[in-house]
Amino acid sequence: MNDAVGSQAAGSGPAVSVVLAGGGTAGHIEPAMAVADALRTLAPGVRITALGTERGLETRLVPERGYDLRLITPVPLPRKLNADLARLPLRVRRAVRETRAVFDDVHADVVIGFGGYVALPAYLAARRGVRRRRVPVLIHEANARAGIANKVGARGAARVLAAVPGSGLAGAEVVGMPVRAAITGLDRSALRAEARAHFGFGPEDRVLLVFGGSQGAASLNRAVSGAATDLAGRRIAVLHAHGPKNTLELPEPNPGDPPYVAVPYLNRMDLAYAAADLAICRSGAMTVAEVAAVGLPAVYVPLPIGNGEQRLNALPVVDAGAGLLVDDAELTPQYVAGSVADLLLDDDRLAAMTAAAAVLGGRNAAERVARLALDIAAQAGR
């Protein structure tokens, strides 16, 4: 056991104060929360503060996990010349000032950054000022292609980590994706009966899980709901998280049809993974990591906008035989009713994909990130 972890475990000395910067989307928040949980396990006295903005999902997800949340001005980084770009310097200065106030209030010893709207202000605020001590920074890049905030922060970071090789961050150490223990320790087979009962599925139903991230995905919604009648005709049940701002138009079921369970959001993803035989989902870094970690075969449909990182995120899993990659424009009701349904009813192929998914990636990334953060705080002389 290293000195930082040992001191905290023994309860001696002041608690290490860790600030997590990873708000905005679930893809930034979930790895941060996984590391927070690992920090509490390693050093029960640790003080954990999460940075966020009023527009992000962290306003709900962070308090639900029992962590302190401090809100700052969001700093989205525009990809085009527009009014947001003109307002960027003012927003950055304001957000940095607010972040420094948080650091002072919680006596921050180390910052762990995951990218997103709050990461850039955190990285800038952590740098040494005329009358201000420097706060060391540890960066974790989740995507196969690093975002702007992490590229900027990496230049002065104490350590730089990445979920996968080739992220574009020089010298990044590949540690995998921090995933919460409820997922990495999930035994889908053992939980299957409880999960099926929770959602109203029968023990013999073939279940297709559909989700497009925390906000849903309109194209996934249209394709799967449009195939609802055909799926029911092939005795395939559906668990569909369509997003809180979206609705589904579903046909009236016939008597005896398998359930089509449509919900705005899935609070129990562990049960959703355990209930499912196959998933259709986007390929954000966190989604790919969780789906692979639980051994669930998936049809990955990368977001058709952005810099192409979602396709890159899914490629290692697809190349290993644990998933399929389908372009957004190719995911039609006909494809779902044909190719996806064929896969769901093919026991041998599903079993092979499940086995391939189960051996992908490490399951201790959250603990590795947490240990490094505590080590960095100790080395900085906190």
Does 180 belong to an annotated binding site?
yes
How many other CB atoms are there within 10 angstroms of residue 330's CB atom? Answer: 12
Among candidates 279, 291, 288, 289, which has minimal Cα distance to 344?
279
CA gap 2, 117 in Å, rounded:
33
Does 26 belong to an annotated binding site?
yes
Does 287 belong to an annotated binding site?
no
Among candidates 349, 220, 355, which has minimal Cα distance to 284?
220
CB crowding 260-296: b at 16 or more within 10 Å, else e = bbbbeebeebbbbbbbbbbbbbbbbbbbbbbbbbbbb
CA gap 187, 191 in Å, rounded:
6
Structure-block tokens of residue 261: 């369970």
Does 334 belong to an annotated binding site?
no
CA gap 157, 288 in Å, rounded:
26
Does 27 belong to an annotated binding site?
yes
CB crowding 183-196: b at 16 or more within 10 Å, else e = bbebebeebbeebb
Phi then psi for residue 131, to 5 deg, are: -120, 20
Q: How big is the chain by its Cα radius of gyration, in Å?
A: 22
Does 282 belong to an annotated binding site?
no
Structure-block tokens of residue 322: 């644990």
Q: Are 153 and 116 in contact (CB under 8 A)?
A: no
CA gap 126, 351 in Å, rounded:
48
Residue 115 burial (CB < 10 Å; 0-12/13-18/19+)? buried
In sequence order, what E strands does the chain have?
Answer: 17-21, 47-52, 68-71, 110-113, 137-141, 159-162, 173-174, 206-211, 236-241, 260-263, 278-281, 298-300, 323-325
Give residue 192's identity as a one-letter amino acid code: R
Q: Which residues are annotated as a binding site?
A: 25-27, 143, 180, 214, 310
Q: Which residues are annotated as a binding site for UDP-N-acetyl-alpha-D-glucosamine?
A: 25-27, 143, 180, 214, 310
